[in-house]
Structure 1
Amino acid sequence: MPVDPQLRRLDVSIPTQPHALAQLSPLLAREEVALSAVSALIETDMALAAAVLRAVNSSLYGLRGRVQTVHQALTYLGLREVAAITFEIGLRAVFPQAHELEPVWRRAVRRGLLMGRMAQRLGSTDAWAAHSAGLFEECGKAVLFRHDCNNYRTMLHDAGDDDVALSKLERARFGVSHDALGAALCESWGLAGAAVACVRQHVAVQHGAPLPQGPQRPTVLALSAVAYGQMHAPDTLNETVQRVAPEAGLDPARLLETAQRVQQQLDSATQGG
């Protein structure tokens, strides 16, 4: 998909999607996806396949035994989670290694799992969109870090955990904020429209703005706000759920229970490892 023309006029380049991910995206878009085709594609890149297996065998996924092949990983974890691991590895690979970005990638993995598993438990057809939105939510920060690492490092330090303040600093210096850049990257990499919209609007919604209303219910954005509450402000989780659930057409009690169950599942897997 083309990048917004306004962003093209800025002196900030968006990285090209890695070849393996460009081939994987059309497979994921099919109604019927053969796991053998997905595993064969990932395994054409030995380094990528090895990285996927290392991630799958980490404590975060809570597998009782080690998996030896990508096909085994697909069988045990499912297509969505293995695809997300592959995208996360591909996403990281296009940016420089820097300790300032490590918290971004750690949050991305956990947020993607929270959002994807909540969507799956809720029976949403947007489970992959939710997972990928969580994974890519902060990718615009990596884009700006790659563009101007020295100044952006200072901005990250000055803003701390306040993404609203960070966005103001970004617009003042670069003419664009990380949420807009992240959405542009998602769009150029062919992610679903719901994921693109979530990345574009997540900062505003997470900080109290109403969910946008349109022909499609903003389920993915609602899950982004809930995941943000789980990760950054657990004491306000119930309040967040009560705010976003009605706007997304979700039952607040069911959404809260789902969020708590998924959180417990991930915590248990991590502690067990």
Structure 2
Amino acid sequence: MADLVMSQEEERIMGQLMIPSQPTVLRAIAAEVEKEEGDLAQVARLVSEDVSVSGGILLVVNSPLFRRRREISSIREAVMLLGLQRVYSVARTVALRNALSHLPRMHEFWKSSVTLAEACGAAARRVKRPDLLDDAYLVGLFHLVGVPALRSVFGEAYETVERQADLKGWPSAIHEEQRRYGVSHDRLGALITQRWRAPTSVIQATAHQYQVQRLDMLVTLHPDARDLLVMLKLALRATTAVDPARMTYADWEATQDFLADYLALDVQSLDALVDELT
């Protein structure tokens, strides 16, 4: 499962994005995760010392994704409830989001992305892959992050691509991006998550997010990548009211038969599944 290899142009654009390296707290948590018996109390202390990460963890742990009956206000309690691996996953998501906060119009981007990420988590449960809940959330949150990244590099010149996407959906923008800039937002989003050592399944699902017709190919890249891509498409359909450009009716028409076949459902049952995600 090799890493994505950057083209010369992709490497140049990644260099302009000024994405910082992983913060010390994240590397320290990763070190605890790799131990045979990681120290939860030490992880709680590390998280508590980083205000941005600790605040983000509390927001996530109290979101609909985790279905808590009462609000969690203590980092120590959050860490004990989540466990090492999940704390690391959530902390990485929060820290990467913080690292990208300098990109233009990110408040608007996160608002719709969080809704989509929560729908991806719901899809993970509905297709009986709760073990992929955190990865599904990560895909939902960051799969389109290549768009603000390209906007930050090319400024007003990128608005032409965005207007096209508003009319025809983001899949239609890929060829225009490649023609103009030598890189597309799906690849760039995957490269950003790869730089922060996201799971390979997340990276590959992001890189191939418009290739539902090639689901079998994704198995060779990572066994879980195709399930994550299916969850993403279901969530996109369920949240079209939030950002219609992310999943147009034409996009859904082109993908629903592949999704139905993969999930062994008829189209009516697939629609019913989507309705359950909102």
The TM-score normalised by the length of structure 2 is 0.72
2:171 counterpart residue number: 164
Shift of residue 59, structure 1, vs aligned partner: 7.3
- Residues 245, 252 of structure 1: 8 Å contact kept: yes
- Equivalences for residues 1-273 of structure 1 within 5 A: 4-7=5-8, 10-13=11-14, 15-19=19-23, 20-25=25-30, 35-54=40-59, 56-57=61-62, 63-74=68-79, 86-97=91-102, 100-121=105-126, 122-123=128-129, 125-160=131-166, 162-205=169-212, 209-213=213-217, 214-215=219-220, 216=223, 218-232=226-240, 242-247=257-262, 250-252=263-265, 259-261=274-276, 263-264=277-278
Secondary structure of 1:108's partner? helix
- Residues 96, 196 of structure 2: 8 Å contact kept: no
Name the CA distance, whole Å, in 2 between partners of 1:256 and 1:74: 37
Q: 1:7 to 1:67 in 2, by over 3 A?
A: farther
Secondary structure of 2:135's partner? helix
Letter in structure 2 aligned against 1:104: F
- Residues 88, 109 of structure 1: 8 Å contact kept: no
Letter in structure 1 aligned against 2:141: L
Name the CA distance, whole Å, in 2 between partners of 1:198 and 1:88: 16
Q: 1:123 to 1:55 in 2, by over 3 A?
A: closer
Name the CA distance, whole Å, in 1 between partners of 2:231 and 2:36: 24
Shift of residue 3, structure 1, vs aligned partner: 5.8
Letter in structure 1 aligned against 2:188: L
Name the CA distance, whole Å, in 1 between partners of 2:256 and 2:37: 33
Letter in structure 2 aligned against 1:91: L
Q: 1:25 to 1:223 in 2, by over 3 A?
A: farther
Name the CA distance, whole Å, in 2 between partners of 1:81 and 1:192: 13
Name the CA distance, whole Å, in 2 between partners of 1:255 and 1:26: 42
- Identical aligned residues as a percent: 21
The aligned length equals 258
Name the CA distance, whole Å, in 1 between partners of 2:100 and 2:159: 14
Name the CA distance, whole Å, in 2 between partners of 1:109 and 1:25: 24
Shift of residue 53, structure 1, vs aligned partner: 2.8
Name the CA distance, whole Å, in 2 between partners of 1:251 and 1:5: 36
Name the CA distance, whole Å, in 2 between partners of 1:35 and 1:260: 38
Name the CA distance, whole Å, in 1 between partners of 2:93 and 2:55: 14
- Cα deviations across residues 215-262 of structure 1 (Å, max 9, x unaligned)? 436211111111111122698979955522433xx343787666544x
Secondary structure of 1:191's partner? coil
- Residues 117, 138 of structure 2: 8 Å contact kept: yes
Letter in structure 1 aligned against 2:91: T
Shift of residue 160, structure 1, vs aligned partner: 1.4
- Residues 136, 228 of structure 2: 8 Å contact kept: yes
Name the CA distance, whole Å, in 2 between partners of 1:81 and 1:257: 30
Secondary structure of 1:11's partner? helix
Aligned Cα root-mean-square deviation (Å): 3.9
Question: Which runs of 5 or more structure 1 residues have no equivalent in the other structure?
Answer: 265-273
The TM-score normalised by the length of structure 1 is 0.73
Letter in structure 1 aligned against 2:132: D
Q: 1:9 to 1:185 in 2, by over 3 A?
A: closer
- Residues 84, 131 of structure 1: 8 Å contact kept: no
Shift of residue 55, structure 1, vs aligned partner: 5.2
Q: 1:5 to 1:168 in 2, by over 3 A?
A: closer
